[in-house]
């Protein structure tokens, strides 16, 4: 596609950190959805803006942040010892980690996540300069999308099912859902193929799902 191939790498932190676990997964999806909108529509100027749109921010305080950090640390340490591990993060833990974790500074105030049942709703305002080889880099893309995720433990593939899409507060026609899903999942597959750490992480993963309002990741 002519405008851009993939988002710039997420902020790095030693080990998996927040960017390598649940927060980073949803942030990557947010970036890919924004790029999918951008590449799927020719009227890029009409669906972007020169001014960033305020995104809700949730910071539930130091106790919630400490809990999320401890969960991620325990998960990371189990992985380093090649032990089975389970990570569960709810909306408050993810949003508070985004608000407080140093590795999330570059996306702070740009992404809000709400988990309910088996779905996530992501509201994001993504500067287009977050992508490589993209035109209109001085503009930003404001969008909201609901999604579910499916992970195949056999071939280690992650699939996103998007719906209820809106851009700059305007609903995207329902008949565009299939195209958006195709674009985003193609880019997600490409990101996995070209990102060694992510590919290695998924090779040890048994389950990625949104269940009972939590992002769930299980490794073998």
Residues 6+ apart with CB under 8 A from 117: 210, 212, 213
H/E element, 202: helix 196-203
Domain ranges in the chain are: 17-219
How are beta strands 111-116 and 205-211 bridged, if at all? unpaired
Residue 212 CA: distances (Å) to CA of 12, 136, 173, 209, 215: 29, 39, 29, 10, 9
CA 140 centroid distance within chain: 17
Burial profile 17-44: b = 16 or more Cβ within 10 angstroms, e = fewer? bbbbbbbbbbbbbbbbbbbbbbbbbeeb
Q: What is the pLDDT along the chain (220 residues), one digit of tens a residue?
A: 343 444 554 444 334 445 445 677 777 787 777 777 666 654 556 666 777 778 889 999 999 999 999 999 999 899 889 899 999 999 999 999 999 988 888 788 889 999 999 999 999 887 767 666 666 667 777 889 999 999 999 999 999 999 888 887 888 877 777 888 888 898 888 888 888 888 888 888 999 999 999 999 999 8
- Rounded CA-CA distance 40/49 in Å is 17
Structure-token match 């990570």, residue found: 87
pTM for this structure?
0.79
What's the pLDDT at 21? 57
């Amino acid at each position: 596609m002519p405008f851009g191939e993939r988002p710039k790498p997420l902020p790095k932190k030693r080990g998996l950190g927040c960017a390598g676990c649940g927060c980073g997964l949803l942030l990557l999806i947010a970036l890919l959805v924004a790029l999918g909108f951008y590449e799927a529509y020719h009227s890029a100027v009409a669906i972007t803006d020169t001014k960033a749109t305020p995104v809700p921010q949730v910071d539930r305080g130091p106790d919630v942040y400490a809990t999320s950090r401890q969960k991620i640390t325990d998960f990371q340490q189990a992985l380093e010892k090649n032990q089975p591990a389970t990570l569960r993060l709810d909306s408050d833990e993810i949003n508070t980690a985004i608000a407080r974790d140093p590795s999330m500074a570059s996306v702070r105030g740009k992404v809000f996540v709400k988990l309910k049942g088996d779905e996530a709703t992501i509201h994001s305002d993504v500067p287009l300069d977050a992508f490589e080889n993209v035109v209109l880099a001085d503009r930003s893309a404001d969008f909201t999308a609901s999604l579910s995720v499916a992970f195949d433990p056999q071939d280690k593939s992650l699939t996103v099912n998007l719906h209820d899409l809106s851009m700059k507060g305007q609903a995207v026609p329902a008949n565009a859902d299939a195209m958006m899903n195709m674009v985003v999942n193609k880019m997600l597959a490409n990101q996995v193929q070209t990102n060694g750490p992510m590919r290695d992480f998924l090779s040890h993963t048994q389950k990625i799902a949104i269940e009972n309002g939590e992002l769930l990741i299980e490794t073998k």
